[in-house]
Copies of this chain bind each other. A is one copy, B any other.
Amino acid sequence: MLLDELTAALPSDLVVSDPDVVATYLHDEAEWAAYDAPLAVVRPRTADDVAAVVAFCARHAVPVVPRGAGTGLSGGANSVRGCVIVSMEAMSSIVEIDELERLAVVQPGVVNDDLRAACAERGLWYPPDPASSPWSTIGGNVATNAGGLCCVKYGVTRDYVLALQVVTGTGDTVRLGRRTAKGVAGYDLAGLMVGSEGTLGIVTEITVKLRPMRDPERTVAGYFDSIVDAGRAVEAVAAAGLTPSALELVDRQCLLAVDAWKNMGLAVDANVVLLGRVDTPGEVGDAEAEKMRACFAEAGATWSVHSTDQDEADALFAARRLAYPAVERLGPVLTEDVCVPKRAVPEMLSRIEQIAERHDTVIANIAHAGDGNLHPLLITPRGDDAARARAQAAFADIIDSALELGGTVTGEHGIGLLKMDGLAAELDPVVMAMHRSIKDALDPHGIMNPGKVIPLLA
């Protein structure tokens, strides 16, 4: 009956009723995160559609779960009992690219790579590049403050959001932020929305800053026997004063998984590979690349090269991007996302090895190593409940270690459902109370993605 009322309140073709289709919207890619049956899935075409859905849900105390492409890894988009899932996929227009002001206005359903391609046609560049960029949307990137490979030099999604149109928890449609290069008129509410994982409102339009297209990057590769040596190389690169445009770590397990899947002919003669990039132009950039290679060598690389073969370099980076889906083919994967100070990278990688051994869990490693953002991938055999319990214990231990080393429980994937205990461990109770008071202020009916990030009150 509530569903009939919802359907009556909206253009009829917005509401998805086919159970097989509804089933494809129930959760994101977080392994073992809970989800429950929704009331409905709605695919709005306009901000007014979104406002109508939220107003309906506010009147009827129905939870609202916004959803981008569902590539999240923390359960933030998972369905909660009786909710309306608002999938933003139909709002996928690039509204405007302004070359002079260096900004783009997009709807939330635009795929990250599509925006990047459209910008490239104008000689412009949208830097945030999560590994999910071929599939994830700008709306989802904003909701999670997505990072990526190049953010070691160029920052994360929040650094590029100038303005947002948002439907708040009261069903009001508001514009936050500005189109000018600078502005301090009032609180940074656009920044507050970024990374709030749908708990404060639904983003219906995004204005992002762009940069001029940059020069081609140089690639430096290093092979290491041990992951701790690779961690030392990361520390050495920071200590040398270098600012790489990417500094990625991929271990042998990930490379083998990619090769088994894609037959890329990757030669894997190392346990761990570090991939660095430098985009400083001219001779200065050449010198920086050579300095990075020397850092790799001094830290114990068994082989290191400043690559002049662009195809080989691109293949290595493509393998890095494919590592997560490739490993997922081997069985359920619980993905970690801790971020630690650069100085702590070797120690954290060493502790991950110990945790893997202690909990008898296979842990593969990829990492945005240059900014200390590690993604240990905990792999379990399908249907092995004991292995699953061990992996979950290892997951918790990794979080504890990261906090002990001055790190954070999530570098870029968000809290969602999987990291709620971690958030409570990381934040002071007073700071948790500040979160709750802001949530109450902007979502007075408590309908926006309830039970994510901030625990429901008992």
Contact = CB atoms under 8 A, between A and B. Distances in A.
Given A172-B430, A186-B426, 13 more contacts: A101-B343, A151-B182, A179-B406, A180-B406, A180-B407, A183-B339, A185-B423, A185-B426, A187-B195, A188-B194, A189-B435, A191-B191, A192-B192
B100 A343 contact: yes
Nearest to A453: B186
Given A235-B100, A372-B181, A187 B435 contact: yes
Given A100-B343, A282-B283, A441-B440, A434 B189 contact: yes
Interface string A60-87: 0000000000000000000000000000
Given A172-B430, A191-B192, A431-B175, A101 B185 contact: no
A179 B341 contact: yes
The contact size tier of chain A is 35 or more
Contacts of A151: 182
A438 interface: yes
Interface string A96-109: 00011110000000
Contact of A434 (B174, B368, B408): B174
A438 B187 contact: yes
Contacts of A282: 281-284
A406 to B, nearest CB: 6
Given A423-B186, A438-B441, A441-B438, A373 B181 contact: yes
A241 B123 contact: yes
A443 to B, nearest CB: 10
A428 interface: yes
A346 interface: no
A198 to B, nearest CB: 12
A210 B159 CA distance: 16
Given A187-B195, A187-B435, A182 B371 contact: yes
Interface in A391-419: 406-415, 419
Interface string A155-180: 11011000000001000101110111
Interface in A257-306: 280-284
Contacts of A441: 434, 437-438, 440-441
A226 interface: no
Copies in the complex: 2
23 contacts: A101-B238, A102-B238, A145-B188, A151-B182, A172-B430, A179-B341, A180-B372, A181-B370, A182-B339, A182-B371, A182-B408, A183-B411, A184-B412, A184-B413, A187-B200, A187-B435, A188-B195, A189-B438, A212-B241, A281-B281, A282-B283, A438-B441, A440-B441
A388 interface: no
Interface string A4-16: 0000000000000
B189 A191 contact: no
A147 interface: yes
A307 interface: no
Contacts of A186: 415, 423, 426-427, 431, 435, 453
A342 interface: yes
A284 B212 CA distance: 14
A144 interface: yes
A440 B434 CA distance: 11
A339 B174 contact: no
A410 B191 CA distance: 17
